[in-house]
A and B are shown apart, each in its own frame.
Chain A
Amino acid sequence: MATALDAALGGGPLMAAVAAVVSIGRPAWPTRIARVALVLAALTVLGWLMVLPLLAIFAEALRHGLAFYLQAIREPDTLAAVRLTLTVAAIAVPLNMVFGVAAAWSMAHFEFRGKTWLGALIDLPFSISPVVCGMVLILVYGKDGWLGSWLEAQGLQVIFAMPGLVLATVLVTLPYVARELIPLMQAQGSDQEEAALTLGASGWQIFFRVTLPRVRWALLYGVLLCNARAMGEFGAVYVVSGHLRGLTNTLPLQVDQLSQENFSAAFAVASLLALLTVLTLGIKRLVEWRHGGELRANT
């Protein structure tokens, strides 16, 4: 028990926690009522902030009836946008996953000069407005940008094409996986990895057998977060897309364009994005269910 707790919390906080708990010894509150109140409060928050806008979207989407709705989401341009969104996410998310794991390994297991700065640098994309994200890409890759004339000479189109969309998405979602992993891995410390090392395990063995099982939840959350954000990203891709229907319009851009033309169709397509989120969460639940046993043993 002690080692498991150690693993979950790191030594110091645990001792403090146990000490705090030991010093307490008064009778319990009527916890049931408190729980119901808390659940109700949380449901109210979710209902107000999430359910109402969602209902508004479906109400607008179905305003002209189901037939119109189905027709709107079956339009070829919309289907092309779905494909493009999935493709961009399928490239950007694994890239960010590898980055996140590497960054977390570096930040959690080593002490080196400039580490605080590296941490700040990893967080940096969070503090850039999506609009600015798109703009800086144009400053580098646009026609008059730093690499613009070189790219043009090579016949490569970055901005207003797929590479630009991927770059924008990567830039906006870069820290998500790292941000989930770093605090957890720092809290867990290096004790177990070092123990494995003294037992003769190689670096990759340590990573796959010791570290990965202990952080898989955080990794999964990070990837899901990154994926959801990548699929819904609007501001940055808005600047670098060029809005070519059926070619460079991602799903969010398609929605925006439709909202300039046909409100109900825009909301119908928006509801597709909501369904994609549900799909992502379905994958998460599948993993939870398949690996429920191991996961419990590992936490």
Chain B
Amino acid sequence: MTRHVLPGFRLSTGYTLLVLGSCVLLPLTALLWTACELGPAGWWAQIGTRRVLAALKLSFGGALLAATIDAVLGLLVAWVLVRYRFAFRRQCDALVDLPFALPTAVAGIALTALYAPNGWLGSRLAPLGIEVAYTRLGVLLAMVFVGLPFVVRTLQPVLESMESDLEEAAYTLGATSFQRFFRVLLPLLLPTLLTGYALALARAIGEYGSVIFIAGNRLFRTEIAPYLIVQKIDSQYDYRGAAALGAVMLAASLLLLLAMAWLQRWTRRWAVVR
């Protein structure tokens, strides 16, 4: 272990480990333990079915797509909220938190109300042949909705802290907005953007409440993995099966987050090299 210049290493690291150990590691050990009680064959019997695989594919595929959409839209919204002054800017800023504060069940019902065939938007989209509610598109929409604030709220403080000085420097040197954005700010923002992306992704993978109402829960088509967990607990009282599925979801999203962290380090280095 290296010598540390600043004080507080033991206190801060120790406290962090204590909280993580009791609040995160202990319960997760219980999860893995319960899943392991099944044995490899029992585990595969729970996970290897066409139904579970289809649900996992929907949860992860939908989340990847939704987080990508969130990254683009979120960057736009964060940029505009931090950089420009316009009427109702603050009200718009407040709106971004809506998906956090709304219980996900309400968000789900509200989205379903909008996009159902008799809904305000659904009835307008139906003549165009676009069905949202009770399709995969609906699942995607709910995931985009819950993920957006993660990207915006992660980007905002960084944008705000780099706001004036760098901007002025670039401005006095005569760079255009596009040049400033793509060659100066985006490389600097990229690590943060990836953090937001990863958060939106993780949230969308596990999302239950808002998706469940708009999905329609059709077998192989719109049934998400968390709903399978609920089915196992609530109708079978099968904690082991549920834990097995939960552990698989956890491992997969953990791998995704680690990949994100690696990518983030890489982009940070890349920004430095530039």
Contacts and interface: CB of A to CB of B under 8 A. Distances in A.
In the complex, is A directly touching B at CB under 8 Å? Answer: yes
A88 to B, nearest CB: 13
A228 B106 contact: no
A118 B16 contact: yes
A26 B176 contact: yes
Interface residues of B, number: 120
A5 B184 CA distance: 14
A56 B30 CA distance: 41
Interface string A87-128: 000000000001100110110011111001011111111111
Contacts of A42: 76-77, 79-81, 92
B85 to A, nearest CB: 10
A110 B246 contact: no
Interface string A12-53: 111011101110111111010011001101110110011111
A41 B78 CA distance: 12
With a 10 A CB-CB cut-off, give which of A39, A125, A218, A277 has the most chain B CB atoms: A39
A99 B208 contact: no
Contact of A267 (B106, B208, B273): B106
Contacts of A28: 174, 176-177
Contacts of A137: 27
Interface in B63-97: 73, 76-77, 79-81, 84, 86, 90, 92-97
| Main SS class of interface, B | helix
With a 10 A CB-CB cut-off, give which of A18, A132, A234, A238 has the most chain B CB atoms: A132
Contacts of A221: 153, 156-157
Contact of A38 (B84, B102, B173, B203): B84
A46 B95 contact: yes
Q: Which 9 A-B pairs have the closest CB atoms?
A: A129-B206, A252-B103, A203-B7, A136-B27, A277-B101, A127-B253, A42-B80, A228-B100, A106-B12
Given A25-B174, A131-B208, A299-B163, 4 more contacts: A41-B76, A53-B111, A129-B246, A183-B192
Interface of A: 1, 4-5, 8-9, 12-14, 16-18, 20-22, 24-29, 31, 34-35, 38-39, 41-43, 45-46, 49-54, 56-57, 60, 98-99, 102-103, 105-106, 109-113, 116, 118-133, 135-140, 145-146, 167, 170-171, 174, 179-180, 183-184, 190, 193-194, 197, 202-203, 206-207, 217-218, 221, 224-225, 228-229, 231-235, 238, 251-253, 255-256, 259, 266-267, 270, 273-274, 276-278, 280-281, 285, 299
